[in-house]
Structure formats: structure tokens, C-alpha cells
Amino acid sequence: MTDTTTEGSPEFASSPRRSLTIVRAEGAGLWDDAGRRFVDLGATHGAGSLGAANPEIAAAVAAQARELLYLGAGYANPVRTAFLEKLLQLLPRSFGRVFLSNSGTEAVEAALKIARSATGRRKVVAAMRGFHGRTMGALSATWRRELREPFEPLVPGFEHVPFNDVAALDRAVDDATALVLLEPVQGEGGVHVASEEYLRAARAAADRSGALLAFDEVQTGIARTGRLFAFERWQVVPDMLLLAKSLAGGVPIGATVTTPEVERRFRGSHHSTFGGNPLACAAGIAALDFVVRENLAGRAEQLGDVARAQLGHLPSERVREVRGLGLLIGVELREKVLPYLAALEARGFLAISAGSTVLRLIPPLIISEDDWSRGLAAIREVVSAGAG
């Protein structure tokens, strides 16, 4: 594996890229332009939870494209209504309103605007190591300095507190706070799971101060952690739930789910040309049907257990910790992760990192047991052998 820029390509080189060219997918398999099959252990970044070419999503998109490809959000459309109703049926009854956009970062931006407008306050409290996207508002909530610094000044009013530290959160959330924004499992930040106590404290702090509480489930949402939504595990219900990635089976979508009460307090306007387009909504209906019918949450839980059992005995001189929930797993190494990603790629497995030392496993939830156990065996092999 070489981490290259897009040298020789007209594409703007805004982030490093691998030298592989992927042309086709089936199940959890990805084929390159030379006909080699790779197993996706993270290459689709959680957006490919149903596989990167799920036939049911493809059929729904093709049928919808022939019927009505695009319509502005200013007009009613039965496909959008059906998708929203299906999504809300899977959520606690307190929810009842959804703003649709096209990506995770837009789902976050909408939450920031809704919270500031509904509360009339400015301050946003987010967590250290958190990741919420790369547009200016979402980036202001994101923690990593390297991601933020070149683009400063960012949006004012953001404060970061240590993750899982109840006292620090309690001190930060006050009557100037519009929003408390947290990931139930920090994905990009290294796969750190929130404690139940922390999420309960966040709910209590928001209630006490009059702030809104948002859970960013862009990465954890839709069955990834062994529940349809990670917050179900702790039964701490936020005022806003932010979804994207696999919500429409790999078709771009973002959703900011909230309550009629928050909508009532909202002032101003917010809009997206492509948000809620019929193509994404048709894909979303097919994706939600698939996730529920195939019990992908149960599958994530079961395959996650297999992983924890198999990765629990990795050599401690190389591995600091294995953590995560369901099929969002982080293997924290005591050394740089890139050489291990290269060794896995050479064996036909594409995994990604979360920071410089964490190997992140975020495979499609439809991965076969055979591909999964071969992937885990490859990880055991490369970690036991060491990168040197």
C-alpha cells in the first residue's frame, strides 16, 4: 500500500489516497481494476454497511430514477414522506421531525443552526477527540488540531471537554449553552465508547441548563454497534439525532432528527437543494427495510463478539487495547498503524485507521462469516509478526 496524493490526476489533492483503483463490489468484496478481490474491513467508511453495491438498493434507485429523479424540498413527495415515516417508526416517540441533507457534516450543521436558533444561545459544548465533519461549523466542533488549524478562524462559541469526564461536562454546560454535541462512540477519534454515566450526565446537564442534547450517530447509526442506534443501549434519548453514512445504503444522505417542540422554537430558515431528493429517499426506504428484515443489528452484535474473542489474545507488547461495540472496533497499537494497513492490503484486506495508532474495523454488516474470520486471522497474523 502506498499513501499517495492524487499526483497526475485532475482531482484536487485535499487528502492522502491509496494507490488502489476499485471498480466493483459484491457483498463485502471489492474488486480492483486488475481483477483482484479485496475484503472491505473499512474501505467504505461505514457508508457501505449494506455492501457497496447492494442489489436491493440498486434496484430501488433504478426504479426511482425512471419515475422522478429530482424534486425540490418545497413540494410534497410520497417517497420522501414514506422514508421519513419509516425512519421515525424505528425511533422513540419523542422524535417526530427530520431535516434531510446529503452528508454527515450537513446533518451536524443543521443541528448547530437549529440549536442556536431554538435556544437563542451561542455556546456549543463538544468532546475532546470528537469528530463531527469538515465544514466550518462541524469542524469547529471537531477536536483534532491538524484538521482545524489551517482553516482558522473557525466559528466562535465552541468549547471542548474531556470525553467521559462527568465533572468537566457539568462545569462547561451552563445557561449560555445552546447545544451539547457528543458521539456515543467516538469513531474517528480512536473508537472510544461513552460510559452510561456520562451520557446520563449529559442529558441531565442539558435539562438543567436548558441546552439541547445532540448525539452524532453518523458513524454509529443504523445497526453498526449492535443496536439500530447506539443510544438505545443506554436509553438516554437526545433532543437531536444526527445520521448519514449508511442511512440510504450508500447513496448520499444526511438526517437531523428532532422533536416537534424543538421545531416550534426554531426561528429563521434552513434549506438544501438536494436534501430529501427522491433518489436518496427511495434508497433510504430500501436500506431501512433491508436492515430490519436481515436483523443487521443482531448480526453486528454477534460478529462483534466473534472479533472480541479472536482479537483478545493479541500480543500485549504490540497491542494496548481492543475496544468498541458491535462492528465498530478499534485495535490500539503501541506503534504506528500504517505499516499494518499495508500488510493487510497485501493479504487482500482493506482496513482503515482512526488516528495514527488505532486500526479501525468498520466492515459491511453483511460481511460473510468466512470473510470476517479470515480478516480477523489476517489481523492476528500481521500483528503477531510485527511491522518491522
Ligand X SMILES: Cc1ncc(COP(=O)(O)O)c(C=O)c1O
Residue 174 among the catalytic residues: no
Q: In the complex with ligand X, which residue's Cβ is closer, 248 or 383?
A: 248
Stretch binding ligand X (CB under 6 A), from 13-21, 62-70, 183-191, 265-273 = 183-191
Catalytic residue among 131, 163, 229, 231: 131
Please select the residue that binds ligand X; options are 118, 126, 236, 244, rule is CB under 6 A: 244
Please select the residue that binds ligand X; options are 40, 109, 188, 345, rule is CB under 6 A: 188
Catalytic residue among 99, 113, 216, 349: 216
Please select the residue that binds ligand X; options are 29, 48, 104, 250, rule is CB under 6 A: 104
Stretch binding ligand X (CB under 6 A), from 13-21, 23-31, 127-135, 306-314 = 127-135
Residues 283-307 as b or e (16 or more Cβ within 10 Å = b):
bbbbbbebbeeeebbebbbebbeeb
Q: In the complex with ligand X, which residue's Cβ is closer, 205 or 255?
A: 255
The three cell numbers of residue 242 are 444526527
Task: Say whether residue 105 binds ligand X (CB under 6 A).
Answer: yes
Please select the residue that binds ligand X; options are 83, 95, 99, 131, rule is CB under 6 A: 131
* Least distance CB 362 / ligand X (angstroms): 10
* Least distance CB 23 / ligand X (angstroms): 22
* Least distance CB 109 / ligand X (angstroms): 9
* Least distance CB 134 / ligand X (angstroms): 7
Residue 113 among the catalytic residues: no
Task: Say whether residue 218 binds ligand X (CB under 6 A).
Answer: yes
Catalytic residues: 131, 216, 245
By CB under 6 A, name the binding residues for ligand X: 103-105, 108, 131-133, 183, 187-188, 216, 218-219, 244
